[in-house]
Amino acid sequence: MTDNAATSTDSIPPEELHRYARQLILPGFGAAGQRKLRDAKVLVVGAGGLGSPVLLYLAAMGVGTIGIIDDDVVELSNLHRQIIHSTASVGEAKTHSAARRIKALNPLVHVVEHRQRLDVDNAIELFQHYDLVMDGADSFATRYLVADAAEVTGRTVVWGSLLRFGGQVSVFEPRTGPGLRDIYPEPPEPGEVPSCAEGGVIPTLVGIIGATMANEAVKVLTSIGETLLGRVMLLDAATFQWTTLQLQPSPNTQPRQHLEPDYQAFCGIETHGQDSSEQHTIETLTVGQLEEVLRQAEPPVLLDVREPSEVALAHIPGSLSIPLGQLAQRADELHRDNEIVVYCQSGVRSERAVRHLTELGFGRLSHLGEGFQGWLAAQLPVSTGSQGSS
């Protein structure tokens, strides 16, 4: 027996030899690849749709330390795509639910929960504790923050995003390849790219893109194969067509030396702390407050600005339907003297509708901040079929 053969499984305990047997026998992987995974520390940003398959596969393959950062709790509407969680996890912190599932899958993995939102105050310090960052964020503000913090700290990022039937995956290597700002030099206008809550997403796409991200992580951590550095893969799940685009660093993209002071502001998103007269003119109702005002002797007009296909699935009883895109043409169907409460799926379109109606001279306006999904979560009555118009 040669020395190489004698040491081929050195430092791999019997339990790991058995657990990881199918990957250990892969050509070029072996004990060396497994030790690299065991020694690796990976931070997963978001324990939601993309984070779910990423976390499960990283844990299953034996990544030694997995950090999870997320400040959200599990909701029933998450479960069709966030497969790491279960019905029993509803109301539980996503980090805790995910950590419990990981330990059940592979007790050899060390899980670190960061139950907080990634922000400019914690990103740099957090990234310095990990070798690789998996970006499963669902907002451009967080994606830019991840990209910039990774460049400042010299960390590689495996990035994925998705909406409806489309997904994207790439790998960003600071200072050696194109990054997020080469794909998106400027953030899109607020509301231009809908969230999954507004635009929807096919759950199987989430699994495909998440598994692809995990596959890239294996290659980055073990130096096996060729990563997507310098390329972005796009999937149209409706036709199942993959497209690979070559990326080149923009000559106008400068290396990041520091973070933006406020990524919400950088992406044009107003926050409640801003001194904006426009911000203060928007009254936001909770589900409980809306339920109360609808019981009044003279309840407000309840305006649903979602699309007809969404309305037909379910809507709040007694509401009127004018899609946001038709509001300018159909505003005269509403009476300016009436009190109007606007709602959409998650509160994004309804806020835009309130701003637009304000510009048109309507004065008694508010919107349901939690959207129709909040109404559903509260298990309040709904109607199905088409709504009328005023």
Q: Are residues 288 and 350 in the same domain?
A: yes
Q: Are residues 169 and 130 in the same domain?
A: yes
The dihedral sign for the CA sequence 381, 382, 388, 390: positive
State the pLDDT at residue 266.
84
State the pLDDT at residue 176.
81
What span, in angstroms and rounded, lies between the C-alpha atoms of 223 and 220? 5
| Alpha-carbon torsion angle 342, 345, 346, 348, nearest 10 | -60
State the pLDDT at residue 198.
66
Q: Are residues 104 and 209 in the same domain?
A: yes
Q: Are residues 370 and 259 in the same domain?
A: no
Q: Are residues 252 and 320 in the same domain?
A: no
Could you list the mean pLDDT of each consecutive 10-residue stretch along the chain, which spans 390 residues? 42 92 95 97 97 98 98 94 96 97 98 97 97 94 95 96 91 88 80 67 94 98 96 94 89 79 80 44 90 93 92 93 92 92 91 91 92 91 71
State the pLDDT at residue 96.
98
State the pLDDT at residue 155.
96
With respect to residue 309, please indicate whether it lies within any of the assigned structural domains.
yes
Q: Are residues 232 and 372 in the same domain?
A: no
Domain-ending residue, one of 214, 232, 266: 266
Query: Residue 251: which H helix or E strand, with range?
Result: none
Q: Are residues 51 and 95 in the same domain?
A: yes
What span, in angstroms and rounded, lies between the C-alpha atoms of 125 and 93? 22
Contact assessment for residue 37 and residue 54, using Cβ atoms and an 8 Å cutoff? no
CATH number, domain at 163?
3.40.50.720
Q: Are residues 244 and 293 in the same domain?
A: no
Active site residues: 196, 344
Q: Are residues 260 and 351 in the same domain?
A: no
Left (φ > 0), alpha (ψ -120 to 50) or beta: where does 359 sit?
A: alpha
Q: Are residues 239 and 306 in the same domain?
A: no
State the pLDDT at residue 134.
98
Residue the block writes with tokens 């926050």:
271
State the pLDDT at residue 278.
43
Domain-ending residue, one of 266, 292, 325: 266
SS3 content of the chain, % helix, strand, coil (to 5): 40, 20, 45
User: Helices 30-39 and 203-222: crossing angle, nearest 10°?
Assistant: 110
Strand order in the sheet with 166-172: 110-114, 65-69, 41-45, 132-135, 156-163, 166-172, 231-236, 241-246
State the pLDDT at residue 272.
44
Q: Are residues 230 and 83 in the same domain?
A: yes
13: tokens are 């305990």
> How many domains in the chain?
2
Q: Are residues 283 and 259 in the same domain?
A: no
Look up the domain containing 160 and give its range.
Answer: 40-266
